[in-house]
Chains A and B, each alone.
Chain A
Amino acid sequence: ETGVTQTPRHLVMGMTNKKSLKCEQHLGHNAMYWYKQSAKKPLELMFVYSLEERVENNSVPSRFSPECPNSSHLFLHLHTLQPEDSALYLCASSQDGVAAGGQTDTQYFGPGTRLTVL
């Protein structure tokens, strides 16, 4: 349960605020992901990082800006969000097998940050 941690767990922000979500993984993985989970919609992939390089950006608005300073940490910087951005933001990590010469392994999720935009 403590392999992937996220802070803060809850965040309320106004549309003009700037805030950051933080994710840390203690599993020795080399790939990290951001997902958005809204009510009545499936989990949506936002960003993928492998070996600290962004490998996928799923047409996410520029008001969401990811940062991966090292293989253990992932940030999601938020600015000028809209009320419809309110959701649970989940971080996940896995071992990128291709980089290590094998198959991509299971993704493990953090507990999420419940974001409310007023």
Chain B
Amino acid sequence: GENVEQHPSTLSVQEGDSAVIKCTYSDSASNYFPWYKQELGKRPQLIIDIRSNVGEKKDQRIAVTLNKTAKHFSLHITETQPEDSAVYFCAASKVGGGADGLTFGKGTHLIIQP
């Protein structure tokens, strides 16, 4: 089955700086890669996703890049703000075969230092 590795497990950056979180996946058939943000005591919420027919997607301060050959994808947050502090999870699944469960990475605890 699919295996998703996520690094780093903890990331501390100064407010205003950029943050990058990286994930790799094992199943070359995976073609859908969402990123979720989970604040303490709250549900995971989708912040951005990318499908394998594109290499990059951007939404304001958040961007995701995908390298299908190397089987890795990354989340980039620019101009970080205190409210960006949370745990971020990457995930992968195969779309097109019916309802697909997501395989998640272990999460990255992002800390924004004021």
Contacts and interface: CB of A to CB of B under 8 A. Distances in A.
Nearest to A40: B106
Contacts of B43: 4, 90, 109-112
Contact of B34 (A30, A99, A106): A106
Given A42-B4, A90-B43, A111-B42, A31 B102 contact: no
Contacts of A94: 99
Contact of B95 (A44, A99, A103): A103
Contacts of A103: 32, 51, 95-96
Q: Which of A45, A49, A56 lies at the interface centre, i.e. has the most chain B CB atoms within 10 A of its CB?
A: A45
Interface in B88-114: 89, 91, 93, 95-107
Contact of B99 (A35, A42, A48): A48
A80 B27 CA distance: 35
Contact of B101 (A41, A56, A99, A108): A56
Interface residues of A, number: 32
Nearest to B100: A104
Interface in A76-118: 90, 94, 96-99, 103-104, 106-112
Interface string B5-46: 010000000000000000000000000101010000011111
Q: Which of A30, A42, A45, A58 lies at the interface centre, i.e. has the most chain B CB atoms within 10 A of its CB?
A: A42
A11 interface: no
Interface of A: 4, 30-31, 33, 35, 40-45, 48-50, 55-56, 58, 90, 94, 96-99, 103-104, 106-112
